């Protein structure tokens, strides 16, 4: 017959096994690390990789903005240390929110780096027991991505002149910001035989960094995941026919496209004109990075 001591030990080990299975877990899809452009976690480590029960541990993170726009309302939190006690943190703004300035190529500065630090007390473990915890640092921030496309409008007389001189149609000029989401605008030079013309424009938003884009203002709710707000800004002599500012859902969190009709009016008869289309996505973005620390009993 099993002794009472062995029986009690088995009961004690059961919740510890559950801790091993659940420690460090986060809601799907798990650690979502990003390497840029945008905000990245350059480092997230404990000050000691192995500690004893009830010993204090500092978890230190270095967070940097590697994109071309300011990152706003950056917040950081640690998941997976529910059995630990939070003693305090050195930088309270890491929990309340801070901004990170983008790099400036003209001045030669890199994106701003912020240090965040939390102090936890390791849990009390029974004798002869050690556990490995895998806490996850989750970072939220607000960002804006933008693309501007300059579209050429070629009237009939100018088209004939180009053809007769062997010249090709002008190339559209595009500029884009650097961030976790990219926006592309697909169209062709417009060939117009009237003072007005309507043509299709396809806008594609792609998530390149492996994090999660969220519809403002709350990234903590998964019902807001994989959504962005699109804003359109057109040349004064252009208008959207069948689109307006909208919420766009990224298919499987990766990308999505919409096609809009744009009307151009007051087109010159004898010269190529340029018209601009600007598309901006505003969103929250969420990234994660995991660490590892081993806790052993103090006896």
Name all domains of the chain by residue range, CATH numbers in brackets. 23-142+286-296 (2.60.40.10), 144-284 (no CATH)
What is the pTM for the complete model shown?
0.83
Task: Tell me whether strands 71-79 and 98-100 are parallel, antiparallel or unpaired.
Answer: antiparallel
Mean of all residue pLDDT scores within the chain: 85
To which residue do tokens 């804003």 refer? 231
Q: What pLDDT digit, counting tens, does each position of 90-122 carry?
A: 899 999 999 999 988 888 889 999 999 999 999
Q: Is 231 helix (H, G, I), strand (E, B) or coil?
A: strand
User: pLDDT class for 299, splitting at 50, 70, 90?
Assistant: low
Which one, of 250, 252, 254, lies nearest residue 228 by Cα?
250
Residue 179: the pLDDT is: 93
């Amino acid at each position: 017959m099993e002794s009472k001591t062995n029986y009690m030990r088995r009961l004690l080990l059961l919740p510890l096994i559950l801790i091993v299975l659940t420690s460090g877990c986060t809601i799907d899809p798990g650690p979502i690390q990003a390497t840029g452009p945008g905000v990245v976690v350059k480092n997230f480590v404990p000050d000691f990789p192995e500690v004893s029960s009830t010993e204090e541990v500092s978890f230190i993170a270095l967070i940097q903005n590697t994109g071309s726009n300011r990152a706003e309302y950056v917040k950081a939190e640690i998941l997976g240390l529910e059995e630990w006690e939070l003693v305090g943190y050195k930088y309270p703004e890491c929990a309340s929110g801070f901004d990170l300035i983008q790099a400036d190529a003209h001045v030669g500065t890199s994106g701003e780096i912020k240090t965040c630090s939390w102090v936890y007390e390791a849990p009390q473990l029974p004798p002869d027991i050690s556990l490995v915890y895998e806490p996850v640092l989750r970072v939220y921030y607000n960002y804006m991505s933008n693309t501007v496309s300059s579209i050429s409008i070629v009237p009939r007389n100018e088209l004939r002149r180009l053809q007769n001189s062997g010249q090709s149609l002008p190339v559209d000029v595009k500029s884009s910001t650097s961030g976790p989401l990219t926006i592309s605008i697909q169209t062709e030079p417009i060939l117009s035989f009237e003072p007005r013309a309507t043509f299709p424009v396809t806008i594609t938003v792609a998530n390149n960094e492996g994090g999660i884009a969220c519809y403002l203002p709350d990234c903590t709710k998964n019902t807001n995941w994989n959504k962005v707000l699109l804003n359109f800004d057109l040349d004064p002599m252009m208008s959207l026919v069948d689109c307006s500012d909208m919420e766009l859902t990224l298919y499987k969190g990766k990308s999505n496209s919409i096609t809009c009709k744009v009307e151009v009016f007051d087109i010159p008869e004898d010269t190529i004109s340029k018209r601009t289309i600007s598309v901006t996505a505003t969103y929250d973005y969420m990234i994660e990075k995991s660490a590892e620390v081993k806790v052993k009993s103090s006896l």
